[in-house]
């Protein structure tokens, strides 16, 4: 057991796959041998969770698909020093394909270090970038480096981070809140944005006061980039914020994290406490004049609070509702003080840029996009997980090479990028490279990094309906087009999936989408029609099949399908009848079974259960 360390990946994804059980199972055994079982987080290979890593004589072996039986083997190997060859997921063909195309800047430490231990972060060059800033650069030089790197906001909008920082750096914030407008577009002759008054007794402090906010209110269905980063390497994000604060003069930092991420919040709080202890956070950081306080604000579970003006309202204790910009946060943000908001991944890029220089970052370049992008690869994909790829890689390379194609083995049909605000990109456009401009041209958006893969058993009308119903439920209810417009679009989509659509409905959807896009207050409304528009654009024939022929080609829309037994294949095993939750299947043992279409709810459990491919959707 000498020179041996054993790690279990305890990110939320690993825990969900049973990693905590494996940890609890292995820890006492190792403890009795005098070895502490160590904790790390998600290494990104979610498809292979639970993952256990064994480091022996400096050589690290990563084992996936660990169940208790295999855990026994691993425990034994620790004792013998002879390690199994199977399930070495990093070295397997699959694993190599998964990892080879990736470039890890933000995810560098994820799944490697213990996120709850600041020393491990320090060992991995942690806080060196901050130290370098304080020791070597003036704040404006830091802004210049970040500008030069070409880093764009990873939350989805893709605004240049360095430029954004320069607005806050240039803003003059004080208690009375007289702030000058530094917006390059709107500030003409230095017009004032209005009298502001900071009323919050806790947050308002005397003197020049600015806020730096980390938006960790990740809410897109299918997205888990921010969660994994915060769970896996919270210090990296904190260091990015500290550098931002140094560069802009912000004194107060708030990480707005969705409350549904308890592990991320726990690890952030541990990290902040450790950072304060070591004087990376707080007053007079590292003995200088630079002070920055940081705390976590838990979001109350509204998707719209990921929109920056709603997020600020939520921080102020108000209902999370967006407001018109301008004024932009840099001029009038939290409590009307200057505020800068970046996403988790954006801050996560900053230490690398400072430490290695802008060139090391922007050598990964494609068109106008630089560096890498983290994606949560999900849906019907063989190797799903968290990946980080350089700009310019194509969607096809991600789906086929990294992801290994569909989990079902069926033909891939599309990817949905950008969550409910994004769009569906069809397989024929999979050579589109990953960069902000190219993705926008398809009608989708880069978004924050959700990438949901769909095979040919996915109904695109149903997908549009799903995303729009999400957006409609999450609309704050303030502006007309978003509140009612998306509802009316959703009603039309539901009609179509139920076989009651008319061809004019497609025109009406596009008409309404145009108005919503052009005349909604915030991104939630403006982008809500995207999934509908892109699916109509690329899969119009599928809509028409629902409308003209009352059929769902993918066999998904329940009103338009029937589930029936294929008599030739049915062996009369009774399994389907036993799993049917509504007792719609009748049949004696060894007799061909029959599904009653009146009772059947088209849940599809029987199809999954059948071992003989004897049940089909028609």
Cβ neighbours around 218 below 10 Å, total? 30
For position 103 contacting another protein by CB under 8 A, the verdict is: no
Q: How far is the CB of 196 from another protein (least distance, A)?
A: 12
- Closer to another protein at the Cβ: 181 or 250? 181
Rounded to an integer, what distance in angstroms lies between the CA atom of residue 536 and that of residue 41? 40
For position 321 contacting another protein by CB under 8 A, the verdict is: yes
Q: Is residue 168 classed as helix, strand or coil in its secondary structure?
A: helix
Give all strands (DSSP E) within 478-614, no chain letters.
Answer: 563-565, 585-586, 594-595
Which of 520, 530, 534, 535 is close enough to bind another protein by CB under 8 A? 520
Q: Cis omega before residue 327 (within 30°)?
A: yes
Q: Evaluate the CA torsion angle 362, 222, 108, 343 in order and state its sign.
A: positive
- How far is CA 575 from each of CA 584, 596, 609, 610, rounded to the nearest angstrom? 13, 16, 7, 7
HSE (side-chain half, CA atoms, 13 Å) at 494: 9
For position 509 contacting another protein by CB under 8 A, the verdict is: no
Q: What number of chain residues touch another protein (CB under 8 A)? A: 37
- Closer to another protein at the Cβ: 99 or 524? 524
- Closer to another protein at the Cβ: 49 or 220? 220
DSSP state, 495? H
8 Å CB contact between 444 and 473: no
Strands ordered across the beta sheet of 450-455? 385-390, 372-379, 450-455, 412-417, 423-426
For position 480 contacting another protein by CB under 8 A, the verdict is: yes
Question: Helix axis angle, 68-80 relative to 19-32, nearest 10°?
Answer: 30
Rounded to an integer, what distance in angstroms lies between the CA atom of residue 502 and that of residue 496? 8
Binding mask 253-292 for another protein (x = CB under 8 A): ----------------------------------------
Q: Is residue 458 classed as helix, strand or coil in its secondary structure?
A: coil
- Closer to another protein at the Cβ: 175 or 487? 487
Q: Which stretch binds another protein (CB under 8 A): 163-171, 234-242, 469-477, 558-566?
A: 469-477
For position 549 contacting another protein by CB under 8 A, the verdict is: no
Q: Which stretch binds another protein (CB under 8 A): 148-156, 315-323, 372-380, 415-423?
A: 315-323
Which of 126, 338, 423, 485 is close enough to bind another protein by CB under 8 A? 485
Residue matched to tokens 């891939």: 412
The pairing of beta strand 615-617 with beta strand 563-565: antiparallel
Structure tokens at 425: 């990109």
Find the binding residues for another protein in span 40-79 (CB under 8 A): none
- Closer to another protein at the Cβ: 337 or 475? 475
Which of 474, 542, 556, 576 is close enough to bind another protein by CB under 8 A? 474
For position 331 contacting another protein by CB under 8 A, the verdict is: no
Which of 475, 497, 534, 535 is close enough to bind another protein by CB under 8 A? 475
Rounded to an integer, what distance in angstroms lies between the CA atom of residue 79 and that of residue 83? 10
Question: Helix axis angle, 234-248 relative to 161-170, nearest 10°?
Answer: 50
Which of 319, 410, 537, 550 is close enough to bind another protein by CB under 8 A? 319
Phi, psi of 267, rounded to the nearest 5 degrees: -70, -35
Which of 282, 326, 499, 604 is close enough to bind another protein by CB under 8 A? 326
For position 84 contacting another protein by CB under 8 A, the verdict is: no
Find the binding residues for another protein in span 184-213 (CB under 8 A): 186, 188-189, 191-192, 194
Q: How far is the CB of 191 from another protein (least distance, A)?
A: 6
- Closer to another protein at the Cβ: 324 or 618? 324
Cβ neighbours around 602 below 10 Å, total? 18
DSSP state, 381? B
- Distance in Å from the first CA to the final CA of the chain: 59
- Most distant CA pair in the chain: distance in Å? 86
Residue matched to tokens 């004792």: 79
8 Å CB contact between 289 and 250: no
For position 237 contacting another protein by CB under 8 A, the verdict is: no
- Closer to another protein at the Cβ: 294 or 521? 521
DSSP state, 304? G
Which of 201, 324, 568, 618 is close enough to bind another protein by CB under 8 A? 324
8 Å CB contact between 231 and 264: yes
Find the binding residues for another protein in span 108-147 (CB under 8 A): none
- Closer to another protein at the Cβ: 69 or 189? 189
For position 473 contacting another protein by CB under 8 A, the verdict is: yes
Q: How far is the CB of 181 from another protein (least distance, A)?
A: 10
Rounded to an integer, what distance in angstroms lies between the CA atom of residue 371 and that of residue 158? 12
For position 423 contacting another protein by CB under 8 A, the verdict is: no
- Closer to another protein at the Cβ: 120 or 308? 308
For position 478 contacting another protein by CB under 8 A, the verdict is: yes
Structure tokens at 463: 């997908």
For position 524 contacting another protein by CB under 8 A, the verdict is: no
- Closer to another protein at the Cβ: 114 or 497? 497
- Closer to another protein at the Cβ: 480 or 611? 480
Binding mask 6-45 for another protein (x = CB under 8 A): ----------------------------------------
Q: How far is the CB of 513 from another protein (least distance, A)?
A: 11
Q: Evaluate the CA torsion angle 149, 154, 158, 161 in order and state its sign.
A: negative
Rounded to an integer, what distance in angstroms lies between the CA atom of residue 328 and that of residue 167? 10
- Closer to another protein at the Cβ: 180 or 551? 180
Which of 457, 519, 564, 574 is close enough to bind another protein by CB under 8 A? 519
- Spatial CA neighbour of 239 closest among 147, 346, 362, 329: 346
Q: Is residue 61 classed as helix, strand or coil in its secondary structure?
A: strand
- Closer to another protein at the Cβ: 186 or 607? 186
Which of 280, 292, 481, 538 is close enough to bind another protein by CB under 8 A? 481
For position 618 contacting another protein by CB under 8 A, the verdict is: no
- How far is CA 390 from each of CA 109, 363, 433, rounded to the nearest angstrom? 17, 10, 10
Find the binding residues for another protein in span 167-186 (CB under 8 A): 186
Which of 472, 497, 530, 535 is close enough to bind another protein by CB under 8 A? 472
Which residues contact another protein by CB under 8 A?
A: 186, 188-189, 191-192, 194, 302, 319, 321, 323-324, 326, 472-481, 483-485, 487-488, 491, 511-512, 515, 517-521, 526
């Amino acid at each position: 057991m000498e020179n041996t360390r054993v790690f279990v990946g305890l990110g939320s994804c690993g825990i969900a796959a049973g990693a905590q059980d494996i940890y609890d199972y292995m820890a006492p055994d190792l403890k009795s041998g005098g070895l502490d079982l160590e904790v790390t987080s998600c290494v990104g290979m979610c498809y292979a969770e639970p993952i256990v890593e064994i480091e022996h004589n400096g050589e690290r072996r990563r084992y996936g698909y660990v169940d208790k039986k295999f855990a026994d083997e691993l425990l034994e190997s620790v004792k013998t020093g002879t390690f199994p060859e199977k399930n070495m997921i990093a070295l397997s063909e699959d694993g190599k394909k998964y990892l080879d195309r990736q470039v890890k800047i933000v995810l560098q430490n994820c799944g490697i270090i213990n996120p709850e231990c600041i020393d491990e972060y320090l060992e991995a060059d942690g806080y060196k970038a901050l130290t370098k800033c304080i020791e070597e650069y003036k704040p404006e030089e830091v802004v210049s480096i970040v500008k030069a790197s070409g880093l764009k906001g990873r939350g989805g909008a893709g605004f240049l981070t360095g430029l954004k920082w320069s607005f806050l750096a240039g803003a003059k914030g004080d208690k009375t809140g007289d702030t000058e407008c530094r917006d390059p577009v709107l500030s003409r002759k230095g017009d004032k944005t209005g009298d502001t008054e900071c009323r919050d007794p806790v947050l308002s402090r005397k003197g020049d006061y600015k806020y730096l906010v980390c938006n960790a209110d990740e809410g897109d269905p299918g997205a888990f980039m921010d969660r994994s980063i915060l769970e896996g390497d919270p210090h990296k994000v904190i260091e990015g914020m500290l550098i931002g604060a140094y560069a802009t003069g912000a004194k107060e930092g708030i990480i707005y994290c969705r409350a549904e991420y308890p592990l991320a919040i726990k690890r952030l709080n541990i990290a902040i406490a450790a950072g304060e202890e070591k004087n990376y956070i707080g007053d007079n950081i590292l003995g200088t004049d630079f002070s920055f306080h940081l705390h976590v604000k838990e979001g109350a579970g509204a998707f719209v609070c990921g929109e920056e003006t709603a997020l600020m309202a939520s921080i102020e204790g108000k209902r999370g509702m967006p407001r018109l910009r301008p004024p932009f946060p840099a001029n009038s943000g939290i409590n009307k003080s200057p505020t800068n908001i970046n996403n988790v991944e954006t801050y996560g890029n900053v230490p690398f840029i400072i430490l290695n220089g802008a060139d090391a970052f922007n050598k990964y370049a494609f068109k106008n996009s630089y560096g890498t992008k983290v994606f949560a690869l999900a849906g019907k994909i063989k190797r799903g997980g968290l990946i980080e790829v350089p700009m310019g890689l194509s969607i096809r390379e991600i789906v086929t090479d990294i992801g290994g194609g569909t989990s079902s083995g069926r033909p891939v049909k599309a990817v949905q990028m950008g969550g409910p605000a994004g769009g569906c990109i069809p397989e024929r456009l999979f050579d589109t490279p990953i960069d902000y401009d190219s993705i926008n041209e398809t009608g989708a958006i880069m978004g924050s990094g959700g990438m949901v893969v769909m095979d040919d058993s996915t109904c695109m009308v149903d997908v549009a309906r799903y995303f729009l119903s999400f957006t409609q439920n999450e609309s704050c209810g303030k502006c007309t087009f978003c509140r009612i417009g998306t509802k009316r679009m959703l009603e039309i989509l539901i009609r179509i999936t139920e076989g009651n659509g008319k061809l004019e409905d497609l025109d009406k959807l596009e008409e309404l989408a145009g108005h919503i896009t052009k005349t909604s207050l915030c991104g939630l409304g403006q982008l809500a029609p995207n999934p509908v528009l892109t699916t109509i654009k690329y899969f119009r024939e599928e809509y028409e099949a629902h409308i003209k022929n009352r059929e769902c080609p993918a066999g998904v829309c329940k009103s338009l399908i029937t589930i029936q037994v294929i008599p030739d294949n049915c062996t009369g095993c009774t399994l389907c009848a036993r799993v049917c939750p509504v007792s719609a299947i009748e049949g004696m043992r060894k007799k061909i079974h029959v599904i009653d279409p009146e009772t059947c709810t088209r849940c599809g459990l029987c199809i999954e259960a059948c071992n003989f491919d004897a049940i089909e959707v028609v």
